Amino acid sequence: MIAADPPRYPVESRRKHEQGTVVLLVILGTDGKVADISISRSSGFDRLDKAALSAVRHWKWSPTRRDGAPVMVRGLVEIPFVLQT
């Protein structure tokens, strides 16, 4: 991972005490940037899902290489939203 700003907890979700984990299916391009992203498992709250998508869409990884050449890869990213008391 090269760059990853954490998602912001939506204010309205905090007010409503919404918590959950979003699981995202991420496809990384040969440059290490997100080429495609989708929700594999919802948190159950649209605001949390959107916050996770918005943040992870801008993350960047070191390119994955096979036989010295960069390749596209896919994987799952879990984003937990947990309110601290």
The pTM score is: 0.93
pLDDT in tens, 54-70: 999 999 999 999 999 99
- Stretch 34-39: mean pLDDT: 98
Token representation of residue 8: 């912001």
HEC letters along 18-83: CCEEEEEEEEECCCCEEEEEEEEECCCCHHHHHHHHHHHCCCECCCEEECCEEECEEEEEEEEECC
Residue 44: name the closest of 75, 16, 15, 21 by CA. Answer: 21
Q: Would you state the pLDDT for residue 25?
A: 98
